[in-house]
C-alpha cells in the first residue's frame, strides 16, 4: 500500500470453497441490535472506533517485529488508509498492521472474547440515556460499523502468513456471519462498509477528513485519505492522491509550547474513549540519569465499571522509544492511583521489556516514584487552585484515593492532605472538609482530631456518641464508607495531632471538657453487668451521652462493629471482642430502671442494651423477643 496503491474495495477477492456460515453468539447479537436500533445521536463514532482498531493493529505488529523483523519486511511503513466509492456506496478503512488468522477472526468478532462486553450489555440494558462512549470503553468498537452499514466485509491476513491464508468475513448484521479463506496479497486488515441509504455524508471526503481531525488526529500512524483532484487544465484528467489528514506524530513528543488545550483534550479522548474533558493534566520530559516523557491525565468521571476493576490490570500505556509496548503497565502506578490515565515513553528501557522485567528493574522503580509524585502534585494543584473541580474528582474517585493511606506510607502525608470528609461543622465546604480545614478550626485546648465511622452517613450523623461533642462545640469527621475503618487503622495522626474515634476507648477531651471528679461506681452498673453477662465487657457511666440512654463503646484498637458485621457476612473470621455498654445515669429510662423490681430490672436492662445495638446499626440476636419485651413494658406502664 504505497502512496498510490490501488484500492481493493471494488473487486473483493473471491471466497475459496468451504465458506461456512455461523450464528453470532447471543451476546454479540444483542450488541448488534443495540448498534442498529439505539445509537442515532452520534453515528460518526464508528469511524473513530475502526481507526482506533487499525492503530492497535499497527502497534501490535511493531511490537511483534521487535522479535522478528521479517514481519515488516514486505511493507515497513505502517499506516491507515480510508477510501470511498460513491457509486457503489462503499467506505473502506484498511491498515497494514498485524492482521488476523481465521481462528482469531471467529474468536474476536463472532464471539465475546472478553468480560467487558458483558459489562457493556449490562450497562446498556439498564440505561435509558445510553452513552455511545461505552462502545470504546468496553471494546466492542467493530460492531459500531452496523450503525451506518447494512453489510460489512472484512478482509485480513496475519503478518508472516502466506497469501493463501487470508480470511474473508461477511455479515449483514442479521444474526449470522460467513467466514471463508481468501487469497490476499498484503498483510493487515481491510473493513469494507456498504452504507445504508441516508448515510451519504460518509461518502464525502471532506466529511471524513473533518472526522479524522476531530477524533483521530493524534493517532501515531499516518491516516491517508484517497481524494480525487479536478484536472488542472481544461480537458485534462482528474488526479488521484493519497493525502495524510492527521498529524501522525505522538503528541507527548512535541514541545508543550506547540500543544493547545484542545490538543491535550482531544488526545485524552482518543486515549480513553471518554467524550468528557479531563479535569487536568501534567506533561513532563525528564532528561539526565533517566530519560523519559510522561503525560498524565486526571479524569473528571469514573468509567462505569471502575469499581469492578479492583483486581484488573490498570496503569499507563508504556512506550519505549515511541514503540508501543503494553497497554496497562501497572508497575508504573500504585493501585490507589488507578484512576490516572496517560502514557509514559522511556528512552532507556529495552524494547523487549516484559512485565516481569518491569517488576524487577530499579530504573522502573525510580520512574514509578516520580510518576506517583507528579500524580499527587497534580491532585494537590487542582485541590488548591480549582476546589470545585477537585470536589468533582473526589466524588468520583475519593474512595480509591483513601486506599493510599494504607498502601503508600512514604506518601501518606501528601495523600492525607488530599482527603475530604463530611463533618459536624456547618460550613460552606459541606462534604469537602480537609484535615487542614479541621485543624485550623480546632479549639485552643483541643489536642485530638475526632472522627466516627459508620455504615451510612445518617448513622454517623445521628450516633449517640456525638452528643457531648455537639454540646461542647467540638467538630467530628463523619466517615461512612467501607474503606474508612480499614484506613483509620493505619492512620494514627495528622500534623502531629492524633486521630481518635469518638466511639472507642476512654473519652479524654483535655481542657475543652474536663472530667468530673471520680465518684463511687453506682451499684446499678454491677447489677446490669450481671444481667448481660458476656454480651458486654463492662457497664459504666457515660460522659459521651447527654440525650440518649446508652451506647456501645469499643476498645482503642477494636474493630468497628459495622466492619465486623460486614466481614462476618462475607464468611471471614474476625477477632472476638465485646464492647462496653455506657449508660446515661441522668436519663429517665435509667431512673426507671433503678426503681424497677427484680423481674422488670432484667427486662429494662436488656432493652437499654438492645437500644444501643440498634443505634449502632446492628442486628439483634432475637428481634421477636425484643418486640415482646417492649410491648410488655409499654402495656405495664399504662
Coil, strand or helix at 23: strand
Between helix 623-636 and helix 598-615 the angle, nearest 10°, is: 130
Kindly list the averaged pLDDT for each block of 10 residues, start to end, along the chain of length 638: 44 57 71 61 81 91 90 93 96 96 82 47 49 46 85 95 95 86 95 95 94 84 91 79 88 90 90 88 92 95 64 76 82 92 90 76 90 97 95 94 96 97 78 92 92 91 94 94 91 95 84 57 92 94 93 86 71 79 93 84 92 87 90 73
Q: How many CA atoms lie within 13 A of 492 on its CB side?
A: 4
Question: Whole-model pTM?
Answer: 0.75
DSSP 207-229: HHHHHHHHHSTT-SS-EEEEEEE
Angle in degrees, CA 53, 57, 59, rounded to 5: 115
Q: What is the pLDDT of residue 395?
A: 93
Residues whose CB is less than 8 angstroms from the CB of residue 620 and which lie 6 or more positions away in sequence, other chains included: 610, 613, 614, 626
Element (H, E) at 306: none
Nearest CA to 54 out of 249, 196, 166, 220 is that of: 220
Count the helix, strand and coil residues of the chain and give each as a percent rounded to the nearest 5.
40, 20, 40
Q: How far is CA 367 from the centre of its chain?
A: 23
Nearest CA to 283 out of 300, 302, 301, 298 is that of: 298
Cell numbers representing residue 253 in the block: 513528543
Q: What is the pLDDT of residue 122?
A: 56
Q: What is the pLDDT of residue 114?
A: 46
Cβ(581)–Cβ(549) under 8 Å? Answer: no
Cβ(553)–Cβ(582) under 8 Å? Answer: yes
Segment 33-60, tens digit of pLDDT:
666 655 545 788 789 889 988 998 999 9
Q: What is the pLDDT of residue 520?
A: 67
> According to the 3-state scheme, what is the secondary structure of 77-103?
CCCEEEEEECCCCEEEEEECCCCCCHH
Element (H, E) at 501: strand 497-501
Cell numbers representing residue 534 in the block: 458476656
Amino acid at each position: 500500500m504505497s502512496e498510490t496503491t490501488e484500492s481493493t474495495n471494488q473487486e473483493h477477492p473471491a471466497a475459496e470453497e468451504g465458506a461456512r456460515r455461523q450464528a453470532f453468539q447471543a451476546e454479540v447479537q444483542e450488541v448488534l441490535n443495540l448498534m442498529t436500533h439505539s445509537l442515532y445521536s452520534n453515528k460518526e463514532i464508528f469511524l473513530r472506533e475502526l481507526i482506533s482498531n487499525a492503530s492497535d493493529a499497527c502497534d501490535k505488529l511493531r511490537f511483534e517485529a521487535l522479535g522478528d523483523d521479517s514481519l515488516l519486511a514486505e511493507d515497513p511503513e505502517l499506516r491507515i488508509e480510508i477510501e470511498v466509492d460513491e457509486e457503489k456506496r462503499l467506505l473502506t478503512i484498511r491498515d497494514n498492521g498485524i492482521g488476523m488468522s481465521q481462528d482469531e477472526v471467529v474468536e474476536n468478532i463472532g464471539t465475546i472474547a472478553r468480560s467487558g462486553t458483558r459489562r457493556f450489555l449490562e450497562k446498556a440494558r439498564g440505561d435509558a440515556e445510553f452513552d455511545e462512549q461505552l462502545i470504546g470503553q468496553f471494546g466492542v468498537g467493530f460492531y459500531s460499523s452496523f450503525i451506518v452499514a447494512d453489510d460489512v466485509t472484512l478482509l485480513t491476513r496475519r503478518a508472516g502468513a502466506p497469501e493463501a491464508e487470508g480470511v474473508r468475513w461477511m455479515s449483514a448484521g442479521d444474526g449470522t456471519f460467513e467466514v471463508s479463506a481468501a487469497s490476499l496479497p498484503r498483510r493487515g486488515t481491510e473493513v469494507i462498509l456498504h452504507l445504508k441509504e441516508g448515510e451519504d455524508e460518509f461518502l464525502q471526503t471532506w466529511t471524513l477528513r473533518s472526522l479524522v481531525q476531530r477524533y483521530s488526529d493524534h493517532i501515531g500512524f499516518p491516516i491517508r485519505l484517497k481524494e480525487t483532484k479536478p484536472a488542472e487544465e481544461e480537458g485534462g484528467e482528474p488526479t488521484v492522491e493519497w493525502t495524510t489528514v492527521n498529524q501522525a506524530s505522538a503528541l507527548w513528543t512535541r514541545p508543550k509550547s506547540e500543544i493547545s488545550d484542545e490538543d491535550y483534550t482531544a488526545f485524552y479522548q482518543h486515549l480513553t474513549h471518554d467524550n468528557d474533558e479531563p479535569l487536568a493534566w501534567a506533561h513532563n520530559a525528564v532528561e539526565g540519569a533517566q530519560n523519559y516523557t510522561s503525560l498524565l491525565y486526571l479524569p473528571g468521571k469514573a468509567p462505569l465499571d471502575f469499581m469492578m476493576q479492583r483486581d484488573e490490570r490498570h496503569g499507563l500505556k508504556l512506550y519505549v522509544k515511541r514503540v508501543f509496548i503494553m497497554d496497562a503497565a501497572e508497575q508504573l502506578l500504585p493501585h490507589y492511583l488507578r484512576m490516572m490515565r496517560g502514557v509514559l515513553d522511556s528512552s532507556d528501557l529495552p524494547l523487549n521489556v516484559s512485565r516481569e522485567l518491569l517488576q524487577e528493574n530499579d530504573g522502573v522503580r525510580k520512574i514509578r516514584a516520580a510518576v506517583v509524585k507528579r500524580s499527587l502534585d497534580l491532585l494537590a494543584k487542582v485541590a488548591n487552585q480549582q476546589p470545585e473541580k477537585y470536589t468533582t474528582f473526589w466524588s468520583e474517585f475519593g474512595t480509591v484515593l483513601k486506599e493510599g493511606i494504607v498502601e503508600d506510607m512514604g506518601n501518606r502525608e501528601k495523600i492525607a492532605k488530599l482527603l475530604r470528609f463530611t463533618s459536624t461543622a456547618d460550613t460552606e465546604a459541606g462534604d469537602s472538609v480537609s484535615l487542614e480545614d479541621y485543624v485550623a478550626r480546632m479549639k485552643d485546648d483541643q489536642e485530638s482530631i475526632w472522627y466516627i465511622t459508620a455504615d451510612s452517613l445518617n448513622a454517623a450523623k445521628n450516633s449517640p456518641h456525638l452528643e457531648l461533642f455537639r454540646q461542647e462545640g467540638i467538630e467530628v469527621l463523619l466517615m461512612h464508607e467501607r474503606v474508612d475503618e480499614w484506613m483509620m487503622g493505619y492512620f494514627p495522626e495528622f500534623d502531629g495531632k492524633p486521630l481518635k474515634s469518638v466511639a472507642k476507648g476512654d473519652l479524654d477531651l483535655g481542657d475543652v471538657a474536663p472530667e468530673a471528679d471520680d465518684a463511687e461506681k453506682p451499684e446499678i452498673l454491677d447489677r446490669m453487668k450481671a444481667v448481660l453477662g458476656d454480651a458486654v465487657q463492662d457497664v459504666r457511666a457515660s460522659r459521651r451521652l447527654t440525650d440518649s440512654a446508652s451506647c456501645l463503646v469499643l476498645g482503642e484498637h477494636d474493630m468497628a462493629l459495622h466492619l465486623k458485621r460486614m466481614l462476618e457476612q462475607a464468611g471471614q473470621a474476625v477477632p472476638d471482642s465485646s464492647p462496653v455498654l455506657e449508660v446515661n445515669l441522668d436519663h429517665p429510662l435509667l431512673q426507671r430502671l433503678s426503681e424497677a423490681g427484680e423481674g422488670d430490672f432484667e427486662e429494662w436492662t436488656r432493652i437499654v442494651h438492645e437500644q444501643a445495638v440498634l443505634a449502632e446499626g446492628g442486628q439483634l440476636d432475637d428481634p421477636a423477643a425484643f418486640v415482646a419485651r417492649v410491648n410488655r413494658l409499654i402495656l405495664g406502664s399504662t
